[in-house]
Amino acid sequence: MLHAMATTQASASGAWAHHRADVRTRIVAAYFDLIDASGPANVSMPAVAERAGVSVRTLYRYFPTKADLRRAATTLFDDLAREGIDGATLDTSNMGEYRRGLWTAMDAQRPAVRLQHETADGRAMRAERLDGQRAIVDAALPTDIASERRAEVVDLILALSSSSMFLELVDRMGHDPAGAADLITNVIRLIIEREGS
Q: What does the H/E/C string look like for 7-44?
A: HHHHHHHHHHHHHHHHHHHHHHHHHHHHHHHHCHHHCC
- 1-64: which CATH topology? Arc Repressor Mutant, subunit A (1.10.10)
Selection from 76, 82, 110 nearest residue 94 by Cα: 82
User: For the residues 72-87, what does the mean pLDDT come to?
Assistant: 65
Q: How many CA atoms lie within 13 A of 118 on its CB side?
A: 13
Overall pTM surpassing 0.85 (yes/no) = no
In this structure, whether the domain defined by 66-197 belongs to CATH 1.10.10 is answered with: no
d(CA 171, CA 177): 9
Digit-coded pLDDT (tens) for 85-127: 555 566 778 888 888 888 888 888 787 788 778 777 778 878 8
Is 99 exposed, middle or buried, given 0-12, 13-18 or 19+ CB atoms closer than 10 A?
buried
Is 184 exposed, middle or buried, given 0-12, 13-18 or 19+ CB atoms closer than 10 A?
buried
Higher pLDDT: 41 or 83? It is 41
Residue 58: what pLDDT? 96
Whether the per-residue pLDDT at 8 is higher than 50: the answer is no
**9: confidence class by pLDDT, cuts 50, 70, 90:** very low
Structural domain spans, the chain: 1-64, 66-197
